[in-house]
Chain A
Amino acid sequence: MKKTSCFSINRKKHQVLLIMKIIFTIIILSINLGFASNGFSQNDRLSVNMKQKSVREVFATLEKSSGYRFFYNDAFTYLDKLVNVDAEKESLNQILDGIFKQTDFEYKILENKLVVVSLKEDLLQAKYKVSGNVTDQDGQGMFGITVAIKGTQKAVLTDVKGNYSVDLTDKNSTLVFSYIGFLRQEHKLTGESTVNIMMQPLIKSLDEVIVVGYGTRKKSDVTGAITSISSQSLKDVPAANLSQALQGQGAGIDIQKSNGNSKPGQAPDILIRGTRSIKAGNSPLVVVDGIPFDGNINDFNVDDIASVEVLKDASSTAIYGSRGANGVILVTTKRGSLGIRKPIITYSGYTGFNKNLGEFPMMNGEQFALLKKWAYYIGKPGTYTGINDPKIMTDAFYPDEQQGLATGHGTDWQKLIYKTGITTNHQIGVSGGTDATQYAISGGYYNETGIYYGQSFKRYSLKFSFDQQLTKFLKVGISSLNTFAITNGEDSQNSASGSYKVEQALKANPLSSPYDTTGALRNSFVSGITTRVWNPLADLIDGAVIENRKRLGSFTTFYLEANIFNGLKYKLNAGAQLQSDVYGNFYASKTTINLGSLSSANNQTRTNSDYTLENILTYDKIIANKHKINFTGLFSFEDNVKASNSFGYSGLLSDNSQYFNPSLGSNLNGTGSRAEYALLSYMARVNYSYNDKYLLTLAMRTDASSRLADGNQYHTFPSVAVAWNINKESFLSNSNVFSYLKLRTSYGSVGNTSISPYQTLGLLSSLVYNYGTTTTTGLYPTGAPNPTLGWEYTSTANAGLDFGLFKNRISGSIELYHAYTNNMILPQSLPATSGIPNSILTNTGKSENKGIEIHISTVNIQSTEKNGITWTSDFNFFINRGQITQLNPTLATTYNGKPADIGNKWFVGQPIGSIYDYQKIGIWQATSADTLAAKGLGLTTTGTGSVIGQIRVADRNKNGKIDAGDMYIVGSPQPKWEGGTTQRVAYMNFDFTVVAAARIGGVITSSLFDGGTNALQGIYNNVNIDYWTPNNPTNEWPKPNSAQTSAVYGSTLTYFDASFLKIRSLSLGYNMPQSLMKSTGMKSMRIYATVSDPFILFSPYRDKYHGIDPETSGTLNVDSPATWSMIFGVNITL
């Protein structure tokens, strides 16, 4: 029997009832208990022959051969003493007498085959009494902590409230507090009678129970690739939302800002083990308390989360069949704890500020004026004698600009639009419970304002959970997460101008002033040669721009658990999710959005309702002590309905009416939609383990999705996994090096249908027309039906090695995987001649992802003193390589000799999302050689369209002309490798945490360097680049040209090395000493300061091209820039 198992009893629910019965005995005896039985009786004879074995091992042998159970305090050093036992048909008493001779110990054999080992009575004679309370970091009393007296064999355990009381013979003794998974603490007594201790978690324990799909397992019993993230890790770096909190926490989890978007309330994109699908979605499935969550990840208050597990391989995710292909994130929320306790009240709060991490590198007035002169000189060949021709001044520059240039009063628009944002977070929680009832309630408030005016995200959350034991075999529980979130200033890309509000400000003429001569705001176009940029400050006028989203979300799960008979359990798990999302916007006439045209308003309402019903049957059986079997059977059904409608109107009678009443405007337009899908699933899983050494998991799931074509709705996803706990083998059991070693391998198949409903049916779109005053709405075919659309599924082979070295001072895991995606659901663009303008979804082709993930945790310095230095590190490193391996076999086109669908930019042998463009090899120079070469390619070398000074692209196919065949794969967003590290140092009551992340390789597309902000036309302000002029024959950037709205082949200027190394956070915390706490009545209090995203240590995009932050999933938009923030917080437990 494992001696440590009792120390973790409060974590193992299925032993709870049993344990409760014997708690009393444990406390009295101050020893460690377990329980089992077989047929041996006290008078039977045993033969034991052991040489130089520890007392522990002797006990273990005796337990096996006698069937008696031994109970003793694990902290007794005597247990490690080596002894010889040479018994030939002796009774148990005889053998034990031999062992305990001349020790401080005695034993008692109890009736129910228990052997209790304890200190001799006379040693327990005490002179002093010391008592106190042991708590965890949240201030919750910890049960089962060993409190030993250093240098003696004496020790006691804490009770369920964490209280202990120990009798001493020497008042200057040292108390040693220990518990597996926690830092051992010593306390030298100086005569005090009360010692309260807060335990600090050490590294993750292998006995930790982690959540797997439809159940929990001990970490050592897990067969799949799972990254487990505790609430402690989540707490290290306070984050606005879950995905931000997971950033850099695990290997294989790639979290990037969506399109570089840093606005408040914007959740980053999560990618687990790369991109495998083109259309069916790459976002992982989020499962909260067992129920798939179909909502906004921003709705979580991170404080409500107890733990997060990320399932990565097919064996772990196959039980989520249909949607597991992109990984599964299991979120377990906090619930009330078992035990007799008074309520625990917690408060956590922080406040701080955020600022932009930099400014976009735009030109100042002087630089822009020079660009403009060149643009005119080059764009109107023969018109001007040079850039200093006074005619340029009068032709190209408005009086206002001329004045700005003369006085040197340029405008740095960015300075005017950015501000400092403020973040505030408060969370109060109460939890408690009895044996039968547990509850937890928490309320939170989060408010963040952005760095651009009008941007904010506010969230009110209320969570409660309630668990009740109804009868001996029936338990029910409910948990509900409720959120009301308000997002302001989303600033989605403006359809009229195609740009964001910040981009408008970047394009604004730096020679113009936002104010007139009287100092009043000019509510008009920014003066300049063009009338296309409205004064960006006009958007900041109160009530001019309203963008308001109110989201009300409720996610409630309910379970009923029945212990039918020994080991057989039934669980009904039901979840309901309701969300309503109301979005309204209003733009006054005089804004960058409407440019003086009619004011406009839009109102959208979206509702999302989802329910899931799961019937789960589990059966646990241990046969002959060695064969552990766990069976799980599942039937589940999910139904999801999303409905929305939207109406827009313009020409409002009063700006004050905002978006609230369309009858106060005209030109009303409306749309609506309703989409429903259903998913029906059956699953069976068997876990088998032999002697805790050999583990096997078999799972099979069948899913039916309404979103697929008739006849292709059902698919079965099998999986198998085996694992070997090598450290349990005899050849390693005495190893000083390996404290843990496990080899795992799995293979399985997972599906993906994250597509919108009704894709298989074809579509008619509507459009409007009129015959005179008769108005009408027409319908025309835009989508073709695909009557054969079926499942996209991914088969993954995974091999993993988990290890713990030197008593787990170094631990970690290595994963290797290879995932094959079949029947990829691809959106295929059809030729216009097909008559179908929309792309259609087809099952075409295959892709694969392979990679390696390494995670290492080390305890670099472990203090044995309470106030010593402890330094721990986590490292993760991962590589993923994805590629398309097969496309439609009838495909006639190729790239590099391999099939390629050029229209859709899919290339066999290349990652999904590859960038396909011309190859910029420089700038056409004004030399006779270049002119000749350009003419040879049929390029224009005179007039406004002359290529001289323009981007020179390579004639890669050497056919003497620049044609579509010259395009090539520039790269892909896929990085070479990614990694992260978390370093934690604790000293005295201080702790310091640094999280760093690196993403090396890959290509980003930055729209800052294309079109709008890099037009080089001399109309809009431009990125400050070293452009080509006849005097500056650079090969980097092309010439300005007033006759051109953007550079030809300008897209080739937008590709940059995506690499970065950044500090995600720096955090310094201080735990108030227990002595101070007592007087305040608080159990614990921690104060901290955290800086998020403070430095980008390395980034070619930032260092060389003065971009702000290369971190993005998808194109890096010209949007509100990246931010850094600093917060100050406090956590209190009462």
Chain B
Amino acid sequence: MKKICSISAILFTCLLIISGCTDKLKENPQSSLTPGFFATPQGFQSGLDAAYAGMRNLWGSQNFFTLTCLGTDEFSTGRDGNNDISKYNSNYIPTNKYSTGVWEPCYTFINTCNGLIDNASKITSIDTVTRNKMVAEARFLRANYYFVLVQFWGDVTLNKHFQSLPTTSATRDPQAEVYKFIIQDLNYAIAKLPASPFTSGLLPGKANAAAARHLLSKVYLTRAGSSAKDPNDYQNAYDIATALIANKATLGLNLLQDFGKINAEGNESNTEVLWTIQHTTNLTYNGTNDLCYLFVPVYQNMPGMQRDILNQRSYDRAMPTRWLTDTVFRDKTNDTRYSKIFQTVWYCNNAASIPKWPNPVPAGVNPALAGKPKFVLGDTACYMPGVDVTDAKIASTRYSLIPPRKYTISMYPAMNKYFDTKRSDMMVTSNRPVIVWTLDETYLIAAEAAFMTGKITEAVSNINIIRERAAYPTGNAAAMDIQPSDLSLDFILDERSRELCGQMIRDWDLARTGQMQSRIVKHNSDARLNFVVPKHLLRPIPQSQIDAVTTGTPYPQNPGWF
């Protein structure tokens, strides 16, 4: 009897356990969120924040910088820069990490935008106006991502809807379709977004109609230079840019008096800036912005110098071409822009490495100075006058005097648009917002569109507005004006360099205007050796993309690439 009781008790326990266990087979992830969350108001907002954050993979990243700035007529490779992609040599292949690093996030965050746009109708707890504004933001961002893709790669996959299920097939859509889609997005965005970055209550970095209008004019201008061109593109570009310029006062926008203030540290939300990618001194939320390092030569190797935060961390990636420093900025008198965006003087910050005058001293130096330090802390340690000087002058100058012929891949004028001297530490990434679209470019878009449609007068007047401003404060503004006879496509491109050099658009400028080969061959001493057409006009489709398309038609590579 005792046994029977025990056995019954045991069997009963078993039954209890079994019945309780099957419930445990249902999964309940508590520390992560699944895509269904996108259809909730909080999910919708957080998805939009992520779509903005995704932009940090482009503006502010070394990948994007490498693709847009290096290997152009403006910048060649510094000593620590990439020697493959920036020189177009045979080591630049479809596995290149810089181009892959731009391709991949674009599609990830396009999908995020698609998820928002597709799910919007399900979110009824947000009022329609707010919801439409949020959709407009997503569409503005999506247009930016697609515009990046289409300019670098031509025909690209056009995902119009959210893909939540895995797919291993993909096709490339004609760029005409992509442009059409971008234009639709931007038109929607212009209609629904707050009018201006200065619209009351709009947070810094948020999408706005002014930025969308600028971008739309640029999209038309770019499509006009592509195989997908439409006869009205230049006119549309001109009209939209001109309208934006005409409305600038009501939008709170205006050109600054001083060109040097556009990119000044701490002044990123000035009236000339249409849209920025945000960063913050709160490092937890800051993300990566490497731009402050990339244009900096190895100044710390100069006598009397050491690394400090004022002069930045020297990544030594981008060396201005001699054409940029000597030819584009030939006028350093009336045009003040060169002096405002290039650092050409370094002040001694390292007593330990101050050089001493040799004995005997060079000609022209007081013999009494023999064996004495050439300078003291705080004095000029290095100076680049921008014009040639004699070797004798160099020898007799107490600081390092470097004329253009002495520029090396380690020591050259440093473009300072992104300098960030207020970081907590040398190694800390920049916390300055990255300026993406600016009103001065709107003038230059208008000028280019006007020029391409034969409206020379309009083109010249837009350019002259920009040039006259460039004389402030010491130059002669009138002397900056150009005449219709001065105008050419080359001149427009030169002017864009003077105004916008290093602003992560140059590769597209050259592609849009069809001047990539001619100008690289003329002005970039590294890249000219290897530049091949048509191969280098477009970026290679990343090998990872081609390899991962395992079903359906193989993913086509761009011409010349293999």
A window 920-942: CB within 8 A of B:
937-940, 942
Q: Within 8 Å of chain A (Cβ to Cβ): is B115?
A: yes
A674 to B28, CA, bound (A): 10
A1048 to B82, CA, bound (A): 12
Q: Within 8 Å of chain B (Cβ to Cβ): is A943?
A: yes
Residues in A whose Cβ lies below 8 Å from that of B162: 835
Q: Within 8 Å of chain A (Cβ to Cβ): is B14?
A: yes
Residues in A whose Cβ lies below 8 Å from that of B246: none
Q: Within 8 Å of chain B (Cβ to Cβ): is A672?
A: yes
User: A598-B424, A757-B27 are known contacts. Are A779 and B562 too (CB-CB below 8 A)?
Assistant: no
Please tell me which one of the listed residues A769, A785, A835, A964 contacts residue B34 in the complex, with CB atoms under 8 A apart.
Answer: A785
A74 to B548, CA, bound (A): 72
What is the CB-to-nearest-CB distance from B208 to chain A, in angstroms, rounded to a whole number? 12
What is the CB-to-nearest-CB distance from A818 to chain B, in angstroms, rounded to a whole number? 28
Please tell me which one of the listed residues A770, A782, A834 contacts residue B285 in the complex, with CB atoms under 8 A apart.
Answer: A770
Residues in A whose Cβ lies below 8 Å from that of B328: none
Chain-A contact segment, one of B89-97, B341-349, B380-388:
B89-97
B window 33-50: CB within 8 A of A:
33-35, 37-38, 43, 46-50
B23-36 CB mask vs A (1 if < 8 Å, else 0) is: 01111111111110
Residues in B whose Cβ lies below 8 Å from that of A615: 10, 13-14, 17
* A780→B159 contact, CB < 8 A: no
What is the CB-to-nearest-CB distance from B285 to chain A, in angstroms, rounded to a whole number? 4
User: A706-B24, A784-B164, A785-B164 are known contacts. Are A831 and B307 too (CB-CB below 8 A)?
Assistant: no
Please tell me which one of the listed residues A706, A766, A773, A782 contacts residue B108 in the complex, with CB atoms under 8 A apart.
Answer: A782
What is the CB-to-nearest-CB distance from A641 to chain B, in angstroms, rounded to a whole number? 10
Residues in A whose Cβ lies below 8 Å from that of B225: none
* A770→B286 contact, CB < 8 A: yes
* B283→A650 contact, CB < 8 A: yes
* B283→A667 contact, CB < 8 A: yes
* B53→A944 contact, CB < 8 A: no
Please tell me which one of the listed residues A768, A772, A778, A890 contacts residue B203 in the complex, with CB atoms under 8 A apart.
Answer: A772
* A781→B164 contact, CB < 8 A: yes
Please tell me which one of the listed residues B87, B164, B167, B286 contacts residue A830 in the complex, with CB atoms under 8 A apart.
Answer: B167
A window 709-743: CB within 8 A of B:
713
Chain-B contact segment, one of A103-111, A331-339, A562-570:
A562-570
A565 to B545, CA, bound (A): 67
The number of chain A residues with a CB under 8 A from chain B is 107
Residue on A with the closest CB to B53? A769
Residues in B whose Cβ lies below 8 Å from that of A776: 46, 49, 285
User: A771-B278, A830-B548 are known contacts. Are A779 and B25 too (CB-CB below 8 A)?
Assistant: no
A window 759-801: CB within 8 A of B:
760-764, 766-782, 784-786
A937 to B90, CA, bound (A): 9
Q: Within 8 Å of chain B (Cβ to Cβ): is A359?
A: no
* A769→B285 contact, CB < 8 A: yes
Please tell me which one of the listed residues A830, A944, A1042 contacts residue B166 in the complex, with CB atoms under 8 A apart.
Answer: A830
Chain-A contact segment, one of B62-70, B467-475, B551-559:
B551-559
Interface size range on B against A: 35 or more
What is the CB-to-nearest-CB distance from B336 to chain A, in angstroms, rounded to a whole number? 30
Q: Within 8 Å of chain A (Cβ to Cβ): is B157?
A: yes
* A840→B166 contact, CB < 8 A: yes
Please tell me which one of the listed residues B168, B426, B542, B547 contacts residue A834 in the complex, with CB atoms under 8 A apart.
Answer: B168
A562 to B11, CA, bound (A): 12
A961 to B562, CA, bound (A): 8
User: A570-B10, A834-B166, A836-B111 are known contacts. Are A829 and B203 too (CB-CB below 8 A)?
Assistant: no
* A836→B562 contact, CB < 8 A: no
Q: Within 8 Å of chain B (Cβ to Cβ): is A833?
A: yes
Residues in B whose Cβ lies below 8 Å from that of A785: 34-35, 164-165
Most chain A CB neighbours (cut-off 10 Å) among B25, B30, B54: B25
* A768→B529 contact, CB < 8 A: no
Most chain B CB neighbours (cut-off 10 Å) among A705, A706, A778, A937: A778
Please tell me which one of the listed residues B22, B166, B300, B544 contacts residue A832 in the complex, with CB atoms under 8 A apart.
Answer: B544
* B49→A762 contact, CB < 8 A: no
Q: Within 8 Å of chain A (Cβ to Cβ): is B7?
A: yes
Q: Within 8 Å of chain A (Cβ to Cβ): is B144?
A: no
Please tell me which one of the listed residues A707, A780, A893, A938 contacts residue B109 in the complex, with CB atoms under 8 A apart.
Answer: A780
A378 to B34, CA, bound (A): 53
Residues in B whose Cβ lies below 8 Å from that of A832: 103-104, 106-108, 542, 544-545, 548
A938 to B532, CA, bound (A): 10
Q: Within 8 Å of chain A (Cβ to Cβ): is B206?
A: yes
* A771→B107 contact, CB < 8 A: no
* B94→A964 contact, CB < 8 A: yes
* A945→B84 contact, CB < 8 A: yes
Residues in B whose Cβ lies below 8 Å from that of A946: 89
Residues in A whose Cβ lies below 8 Å from that of B167: 830-831, 834
* B51→A780 contact, CB < 8 A: yes
What is the CB-to-nearest-CB distance from A1015 to chain B, in angstroms, rounded to a whole number? 12
What is the CB-to-nearest-CB distance from B269 to chain A, in angstroms, rounded to a whole number? 8
Residues in B whose Cβ lies below 8 Å from that of A635: 14, 17-18
Please tell me which one of the listed residues A704, A763, A901 contacts residue B32 in the complex, with CB atoms under 8 A apart.
Answer: A763
Residue on B with the closest CB to A525? B307
A666 to B425, CA, bound (A): 13
What is the CB-to-nearest-CB distance from B85 to chain A, in angstroms, rounded to a whole number? 10
* B29→A757 contact, CB < 8 A: yes
Please tell me which one of the listed residues B35, B53, B552 contacts residue A778 in the complex, with CB atoms under 8 A apart.
Answer: B53
Q: Within 8 Å of chain B (Cβ to Cβ): is A680?
A: yes
Residue on B with the closest CB to A938? B90
A769 to B52, CA, bound (A): 7
A window 939-985: CB within 8 A of B:
939-940, 942-947, 959, 961-965
Q: Within 8 Å of chain B (Cβ to Cβ): is A902?
A: yes
What is the CB-to-nearest-CB distance from A268 to chain B, in angstroms, rounded to a whole number? 31
Residues in A whose Cβ lies below 8 Å from that of B32: 673, 758, 763-764
User: A831-B548, A832-B104 are known contacts. Are A597 and B425 too (CB-CB below 8 A)?
Assistant: yes
User: A785-B35, A828-B168, A903-B544 are known contacts. Are A780 and B107 too (CB-CB below 8 A)?
Assistant: no
Residues in A whose Cβ lies below 8 Å from that of B38: 764, 779, 781
Q: Within 8 Å of chain B (Cβ to Cβ): is A594?
A: yes
Residue on A with the closest CB to B530? A940
Q: Within 8 Å of chain B (Cβ to Cβ): is A91?
A: no
Residues in A whose Cβ lies below 8 Å from that of B428: 597-598
Q: Within 8 Å of chain A (Cβ to Cβ): is B513?
A: no
* B54→A780 contact, CB < 8 A: yes
Q: Within 8 Å of chain A (Cβ to Cβ): is B227?
A: no
* B163→A834 contact, CB < 8 A: yes
A661-698 CB mask vs B (1 if < 8 Å, else 0) is: 00000111100111111101000000000000000000
Q: Within 8 Å of chain B (Cβ to Cβ): is A1043?
A: yes
* A778→B10 contact, CB < 8 A: no
* B425→A598 contact, CB < 8 A: yes
Residues in A whose Cβ lies below 8 Å from that of B87: 943-945
Residue on A with the closest CB to B22? A680
Please tell me which one of the listed residues A597, A761, A831 contacts residue B545 in the complex, with CB atoms under 8 A apart.
Answer: A831
What is the CB-to-nearest-CB distance from B560 to chain A, in angstroms, rounded to a whole number? 9
User: A668-B284, A772-B205, A781-B115 are known contacts. Are A706 and B26 too (CB-CB below 8 A)?
Assistant: yes
Q: Which 4 A-B pairs have the closest CB atoms?
A: A835-B111, A778-B50, A597-B427, A945-B89
Given A597-B426, A639-B24, A778-B51, 9 new contacts (CB under 8 A): A676-B27, A773-B280, A831-B545, A834-B167, A835-B162, A837-B108, A901-B550, A940-B91, A964-B94
Residues of B at the A interface (CB closer than 8 Å) are: 3, 6-7, 10, 13-14, 17-18, 21-22, 24-35, 37-38, 43, 46-54, 56, 79-80, 83-84, 87, 89-91, 94, 103-104, 106-112, 114-115, 157, 159, 162-168, 170, 203-206, 278-280, 282-287, 300, 307, 424-428, 526, 529-530, 542-555, 562
Residues of A at the B interface (CB closer than 8 Å) are: 473-474, 531, 562, 564-565, 570, 572, 594-598, 613, 615, 635, 637, 639, 643, 650-651, 666-669, 672-678, 680, 704-707, 713, 757-758, 760-764, 766-782, 784-786, 828-837, 840, 842, 888, 890-893, 901-904, 937-940, 942-947, 959, 961-965, 1042-1045, 1048
7 pairs from A and B in contact (CB 8 Å cutoff)? A615-B13, A637-B18, A666-B283, A769-B278, A781-B38, A940-B530, A945-B89
